[in-house]
Amino acid sequence: MLNLRYYSQNTITIMDKSKLGLPVGTTLDRFIKRNQDDFSYATGELSQLLRDIALAAKIVNREINKAGLLNIAGAFGSTNIQGEEQQKLDVIADIRFIRALKNGGEVCGIISEEEEKIIDVGNNYGKYVVAIDPLDGSSNVDVNVSIGTIFSIYRRLSPVGAPVQNEDVMQSGNEQVAAGYVLYGASTMLVYTTGHGVVGFTYEPSLGEFFLSHNHMKIPENGSIYSVNEGNFNEFPEKIKEYINTCKEKKYTARYIGSLVADFHRNLLKGGIYLYPPTQKNQDGKLRLLYECNALAFLVEQAGGVAIDGKGNRILDIKPYEYHQRAALYIGSKNMIKDLQKYLELNTVMAD
């Protein structure tokens, strides 16, 4: 093996030449190319679509990192279709993802949390539709807390060449061909599945690339973390209150960030359960089925976990009836969900 000598003050050190050029890892683009045959339709469009999402994520990551310097944190001054106050970064992220997906040419339509109706991107030959929450937890930007992007990808049902139709979007979560999230935190991560397990990529800003950092991600079957907004405790169903009190009796750790992606990501890695029950104000639940619940349910099942709505339904089995449909969500480690179902007096709901 060829060696190089270099001088450090009064000493001479021998260094193995191979150590000067250690590999930096597998990039997202290279990983997608290597695994393209895993996609249901291995023709390249879905691969390009994932790259488009990654590109938009890089741009949004840049904007988030500059938020405190450019006065783009805080409220925008309007509300979205949910009646929620839009943050400036909500609007920015919405624009960035829609533009990237439109310019990528692979989608015919988009459903966004920030828009009332289907966005017809004018590409009738696009084979996919995307449901997206461009920036989940954006109000946490002001206090420098982790936030995220959540996305679901479906193959269109209407004929290619025609304008996007309602049926293209109103599909159950079982029909997703890919789903994932981007976590903007201490490091920025892209986590996704195409139905063949869950993989995670960490962004390396100096190179401008996502590198594979978490292969074959699995959620532990058991956990000791419960994540719920206990400020709403008095409005929860009695059975949920009983379960939460049992978590306290078992000395489980309470962890709730208020950013769905961040709470889910922690429990995915460490094992735990995330609960967003119905309340008196939101009797159907608060989270959105199409672009929040479905994506994370697909991911958690691929990682060995479970996602239910607390009414005896597997999240991925629910047939949507409106774009911004809400649902209760209980998601996490398999045995913790089984325990919850005992309190709810439900039969175990598992994937086929």
Q: What is the pLDDT of residue 65?
A: 85
Q: What is the pLDDT of residue 1?
A: 44
Q: What is the pLDDT of residue 77?
A: 47
Distance CA 223, CA 338 (A): 12
350 part of a folded domain: no
DSSP codes of every residue in 164-204 = P-HHHH---GGGEEEEEEEEESSSEEEEEESSS-EEEEEEE
Residues 107 and 191 in one domain: yes
CA gyration radius, the chain: 22
Residues 230 and 312 in one domain: yes
349 part of a folded domain: no
**Over the stretch 217-256, which tens digit does the pLDDT of each residue have?**
999 999 999 999 999 999 999 999 999 999 999 999 999 9
Closest alpha carbon to 151 in 36, 62, 56, 75? 56
76 part of a folded domain: yes
Query: 3-state DSSP helix/strand/coil percent for the chain, to nearest 5?
Result: 35, 30, 35
pLDDT at 22 over 70: no
Mean pLDDT to the nearest integer, 317-322: 96
267 part of a folded domain: yes
Mean pLDDT of the chain: 88
127 part of a folded domain: yes
Residue 252: count of CB within 10 angstroms of its CB: 17
Residues 48 and 136 in one domain: yes
236 part of a folded domain: yes
Closest alpha carbon to 184 in 306, 305, 96, 81? 96
Q: Which among 153, 186, 214 is the end of a domain?
A: 214
Q: In the numeric block, which tokens belong to residue 313?
A: 């339904």
DSSP 3-state assignment of 114? coil
Closest alpha carbon to 288 in 169, 127, 208? 169
CB 252 within 8 A of CB 93: no
Mean pLDDT to the nearest integer, 67-95: 64
CATH number, domain containing residue 313: 3.40.190.80
73 to 147, 178, 342: CA distances (angstroms): 13, 31, 43
Residues 130 and 44 in one domain: yes
Q: What is the pLDDT of residue 143?
A: 83
Q: In the numeric block, which tokens belong to residue 319?
A: 């047939």
Residues 89 and 192 in one domain: yes
| Strand-pair partners of 274 | 227, 331
pLDDT at 86 over 70: no
CATH number, domain containing residue 136: 3.30.540.10
More confident call, 79 vs 188: 188
Mean pLDDT to the nearest integer, 330-351: 86
Mean pLDDT to the nearest integer, 196-212: 96
What is the percentage of the chain residues whose pLDDT exceeds 90?
A: 72
Q: What is the pLDDT of residue 6?
A: 45
DSSP 3-state assignment of 309? coil
Residues 164 and 289 in one domain: no
Q: Which among 163, 181, 214 is the end of a domain?
A: 214
Q: What is the pLDDT of residue 269?
A: 98
Residues 159 and 229 in one domain: no
14 part of a folded domain: no
Distance CA 160, CA 284 (A): 35
CB 198 within 8 A of CB 301: no
Closest alpha carbon to 272 in 238, 312, 305, 229? 305
pLDDT at 162 over 50: yes
302 to 148, 179, 189: CA distances (angstroms): 20, 11, 18
pLDDT at 216 over 60: yes
Residue 239 has phi, psi (to 5 degrees) of -65, -35
For the beta sheet containing 273-276, the strands, ordered from the edge strand earlier in sequence to the opposite edge, are 253-254, 225-227, 273-276, 329-332, 306-308
> Could you give the number of structural domains in the chain?
2
Residues 205 and 86 in one domain: yes
Q: What is the pLDDT of residue 310?
A: 94
Residues 136 and 234 in one domain: no
**What's the domain range around 198?**
28-214
Residues 84 and 193 in one domain: yes
pLDDT at 151 over 80: yes
Residue 10: count of CB within 10 angstroms of its CB: 5
23 part of a folded domain: no
pLDDT band at 4 (very low <50, low <70, confident <90, very high): very low
Q: Which of 41-45, 51-55, 77-81, 200-204 is predicted least confidently?
A: 77-81
Q: What is the pLDDT of residue 57?
A: 96
Residues 264 and 235 in one domain: yes
Helices and strands: H and E segment counts in the chain: 9, 19
Residues 174 and 282 in one domain: no
